[in-house]
Structure 1
Amino acid sequence: MLDLLETFACPFCHGALTTGADGLRCPACAADYPSAAGYVDFAPAITMKPGLGPFYLQDPLHVTRYERATRDAFLEIMGENWDRDLTPDREDDYLRTALDAADGLVLDLACGSGRWTRTLVEHLGGARVVGLDLSVPMIDLIRASLPDLCVVRGTALRLPFADRSLGAVNCSNALQLLPDPRSVLREAGRCLRPGGLFTAFTFRRADRPAYRYFQSRHERTFNVRAFRTTELVTWLASAGLELVDLRTPAGMLLFTARRTTEPHPD
């Protein structure tokens, strides 16, 4: 953790942090971030938004079943993945290729139980990867499977990293779940160094009215959303990110963007 101290920053004022007996502290705004559970909690007062989807991601009885059961069913309905246009192997291949040229620390944003974090660690090395999630049960699970990995608790809307400090940010199967995804992209843009990469896997808004009906029912049930490609491109540009690659298997989106400019002011 000490090696990352200069990379971490106060998620509220972006000030430098110092170490203390119980975690990290921001001298600028006097905020304390405890580490009593074995990881730094950068969002001690923040909870996940309501809804069935977030509930599944923080229910201790369900998190161990997520990867082997719930996730496949979710991709089938939300992403029209009935014919397995997107498989776990293809997801991993895309991530390895997209981030092969990443320079510096790589954040796995909303890392969950570590499905894509393990791929990043195997490809880039554990010292170059840090995981962030808001769900305590998910953090407990990833720490059990990757005990040497640096994992922190935090919110995607206020990332605990200094400006221009990250080489890449990955956000796989999570952007649709996060509140205010446009602000999430802006936070990623703030933290990426010039030339840094942002990769994501999420869901495309269905074109066919009949399928859009079923997709929208899924959105309401799980408190998630699908995206129009045009709105994502606009949000990326506002975050100082230029789209450099886009894949659209079935009803899903895999894309890579590069940090080219400073995020635009609102």
Structure 2
Amino acid sequence: MTDVVGSDSALPDKRRVAASFSRAATSYDAVAELQRAVGNTLIERLPDDLEPNRWLDLGCGTGYFSRRLAQCFPQAEGVALDIAEGMLRHAAPQGGAGAFVAGDAESLPLREGSVDLIFSSLALQWCEDFPAVLREARRVLRPGGIFAFSSLCAGTLQELRDSWQAVDGFAHVNRFRTLDTYQHLCADSGLAQLELSVQPRVLHFAELRQLTHELKALGAHNLNPGRPGGLTGPARIRALIAAYEQFRTPFGLPATYQVVYGVLRKES
């Protein structure tokens, strides 16, 4: 794996993200129905004629899609990369990729022009500097290479956000870029845009605690800077439940995810 090079450790403002997902490594797969559905949709959106010699699973998590990519492209060499070392320790024994690498999407530890496909599903919403992600993708892709990603945009978990707003006005829910921001940044990336679209996905829960348990098990609970500290008291929890109940449907309590799908190509 001579194209994998050393990199600096994660920047300080990313350590909380890495630690949160590391802690969630053993619980993640049990509650990752949405993540698998979104990643499988992203695989379906890859170009039909794509035959990579080398792929990168960027933000590989537990390695589920590293194993899927190995099935889709059995002749290709695979690299699985994640900022959360706990995820890599969990993923590596299950195989799928030839190398499991700790690294940052904003500063990839890969050589220029070393991969034909970058696949990244529901990881890049945690990257503050998305232009850097795009620059790095363009740098490490070979001409004709594909950068396929799914991410989350503004409007995700809006029901939970609005319910907390009614309780105390604090930012208890992760913030995400707008679709317009994704569109402008991808248009300016120097990569050809084959697809960029948003698709809402709605999960339903019998009780609010099922949603909050799932977010914690995924490592995707509130990671906002300046989030409220300390424990949430019983009165505030009761108020939150009452506020969220206003969204209940015959299917249960909805949790809406605004999923962005992007497929970009490096022309030269």
Tell me the TM-score normalized by structure 1: 0.66
Correspondence for 1:65: 27
Correspondence for 1:49: 14
RMSD across aligned positions (CA)? 3.2
Cα separation, 2, equivalents of 1:124 and 1:147 = 11
Structure 1 position 55, deviation (Å):
3.6
1:176-195 CA-partner distances (Å, limit 9, x unpaired): 11231221111111111122
| Equivalent runs, 1:83-122 vs 2, <5 Å | 88-89=36-37, 91-98=39-46, 100=48, 101-122=50-71
Cα separation, 2, equivalents of 1:182 and 1:260 = 18
Correspondence for 2:205: none
Q: Do the aligned partners of 1:162 and 1:191 also contact (CA within 8 Å) in 2?
A: yes
Alignment of 1:165 onto 2:141: no
1:61-108 CA-partner distances (Å, limit 9, x unpaired): x31111212x45xx6xxxxxxxxxxx7356314314405514331111
1:28-55 CA-partner distances (Å, limit 9, x unpaired): xxxxx4xxxxxxxx3347567254x544
Q: Do the aligned partners of 1:206 and 1:215 also contact (CA within 8 Å) in 2?
A: no
1:212-236 CA-partner distances (Å, limit 9, x unpaired): 646999x9546x5423223212222
Structure 2: give runs of 5+ residues left out of the alignment: 201-257
Cα separation, 2, equivalents of 1:214 and 1:180 = 29
Q: Do the aligned partners of 1:47 and 1:134 also contact (CA within 8 Å) in 2?
A: no
Paired amino acid for 2:65: W
Note closer, same or farther for the CA distance 1:210–1:150 as it changes in structure 2 (3 Å cut). Answer: closer
Q: Do the aligned partners of 2:82 and 2:104 also contact (CA within 8 Å) in 1?
A: yes
1 or 2 for the larger relative contact order (CA 8 Å, sep ≥6)? Answer: 2
Correspondence for 2:148: 199
Q: % of aligned pairs identical?
A: 24
Higher helix share: 2
Cα separation, 2, equivalents of 1:102 and 1:214 = 46
Correspondence for 1:135: 84
Q: Do the aligned partners of 1:48 and 1:135 also contact (CA within 8 Å) in 2?
A: no
Note closer, same or farther for the CA distance 1:192–1:229 as it changes in structure 2 (3 Å cut). Answer: same
Q: Do the aligned partners of 2:70 and 2:97 also contact (CA within 8 Å) in 1?
A: no
Correspondence for 1:145: 94
Secondary structure, counterpart of 1:65 in structure 2: helix
Query: Which has the larger Rg?
Result: 2
Q: Do the aligned partners of 2:150 and 2:261 also contact (CA within 8 Å) in 1?
A: yes
Correspondence for 1:248: 198
Tell me the TM-score normalized by structure 2: 0.65
Count of aligned pairs between the two proteins: 207
Q: Do the aligned partners of 1:205 and 1:212 also contact (CA within 8 Å) in 2?
A: no
Note closer, same or farther for the CA distance 1:96–1:130 as it changes in structure 2 (3 Å cut). Answer: farther
Note closer, same or farther for the CA distance 1:109–1:147 as it changes in structure 2 (3 Å cut). Answer: closer
